[in-house]
Each structure stands twice: as structure tokens, then as C-alpha cells.
Amino acid sequence: MNIKEWIANNIGYRFSGCAYAKYHDKVFNPIRKLIPKEFLHKDISDLGCGDGTNSLRIKEIFQAKRIVGYELNPYLIERARAKGLKTKQMDLNQKIPVGEMAVFSMSFHHIKNKDKVSVLKKVVKNYNYIFLIEPIRDLYHALFDAGHVLKKKDWIKVFDEALGHYKLYQQGNHLIVFFKKL
């Protein structure tokens, strides 16, 4: 664990949760228009749910039948549960749950596997639908993000190799991916 990860996990998340998530409305609001109809009304696994702020956005805009958040950090789990989110503690670097639709809402870049392809292939194996929204590496993410944010071309390389076919959009500094298993 590097120093940024340690600070985020033990200080930042403990005392302020996912503080940056309160600014994500500008990213999530346009997604409503992009969602393919077949992605609505699913049982959703929010992989890396953080403090649940984005999970509640996901639940609303995807009109989820049910949503369960998966998170490793106990401080974030406590905050998500306080918001009414059902959560399970899980290290997604070790295990990927099984379900109908997987969501990575600015959390996939926290997966330790540097190339990320093998983890995403496991997600494809375990889910019929996948929605990802990930930041593109910029100065802020290079300096302050505790995860491993990739450049746009590197994200696309991961998506191409692991998913093959998918719909890709860009909203500001974020890539948005919709994948449906054929």
C-alpha cells in the first residue's frame, strides 16, 4: 500500500467518507440519457461502493430492483449503511461476486491489478451487464487519487481486451462504459 492509499483508507475515508462524491451530479445527470433500456430495472452489485453516495445515484437513475454495495473499507461500509444501503465487506482484488449487473462507479481504478484486464474478465464471467464510469488520468488524479487512474488510451485498451464489444462515452474527464454479454 502506498502512502496515498494509506492516508485515504485510514484518515480520509474515516473522517470524511468519499468527500469528492458529492460533486458527481454533473457527471451522473447526463448518464440518464445514455442508459440503454435493457440496463434498467436490474439487480445491481455496486463493486467498490465507497460511502454509498454514488450507489444511491445509480439506484435512482438505473431504477434498480435492488442494489447491494461491496466495499473493503469498514469506515466506508459504516457510512453506506447509515444511508440505508445494503453492503457486504469484500476485497474485490481477491473475489468478484456474482449477479445480474455490475457497476464500478469511479472505483475500478482502485483495483490493484495493474493491467486490470484479468479482473474485468472475471466480472464479465459473473455478470450479464456491466456499467463503468472511470476518471481519465489528469494532474489531480496523478497527485491526489489513491487509486491507479489510467490515461484514456490505456482505459480503452483494457476495455477492448476484457470486454471486446461495448458502448463508450466521454463525459468531461470520465469514461462511461455499457457492456451487455451476448
Number of domains in the chain: 1
What was the pLDDT predicted at 141?
55
Angstrom distance (rounded) from CA 49 to CA 71 = 6
Please say if the pLDDT value at position 175 is more than 70.
Answer: yes
Please say if the pLDDT value at position 14 is more than 50.
Answer: no
CA angle 98, 155, 9 (to 5 degrees): 65
Q: Is the Cβ–Cβ distance between 90 and 70 less than 8 Å?
A: yes
Its pTM surpasses 0.85: yes
Quick one: cell of 119? 479482473
What was the pLDDT predicted at 93?
85
* Range(s) of the domain holding residue 157: 3-180
Alpha-carbon torsion (138, 140, 143, 148), positive or negative:
negative
More confident residue, 11 or 60: 60
| Residue 30: CATH number of its domain | 3.40.50.150
Please say if the pLDDT value at position 18 is more than 80.
Answer: no
More confident residue, 38 or 115: 38
Name the residue type at position 182. Answer: L
More confident residue, 8 or 105: 105
Residue matched to cell numbers 456474482: 98
Please say if the pLDDT value at position 15 is more than 50.
Answer: no
Please say if the pLDDT value at position 28 is more than 90.
Answer: no
pLDDT in tens, 69-78: 999 989 899 9
Please say if the pLDDT value at position 19 is more than 80.
Answer: no
DSSP per-residue letters across 34-90: H--GGGSS-EEEEET-TTSHHHHHHHHHTT-SEEEEEES-HHHHHHHHHTT-EEEE-
pLDDT in tens, 126-154: 999 999 999 998 765 555 555 778 899 99
More confident residue, 173 or 13: 173
What was the pLDDT predicted at 156?
96
Name the residue type at position 17. Answer: G
pLDDT mean across residues, the chain: 86
Q: Is the Cβ–Cβ distance between 105 and 46 less than 8 Å?
A: yes
Angstrom distance (rounded) from CA 21 to CA 32 = 17
Please say if the pLDDT value at position 30 is more than 70.
Answer: yes
Alpha-carbon torsion (101, 103, 109, 111), positive or negative:
negative
Residue matched to cell numbers 476484457: 162
What was the pLDDT predicted at 17?
47
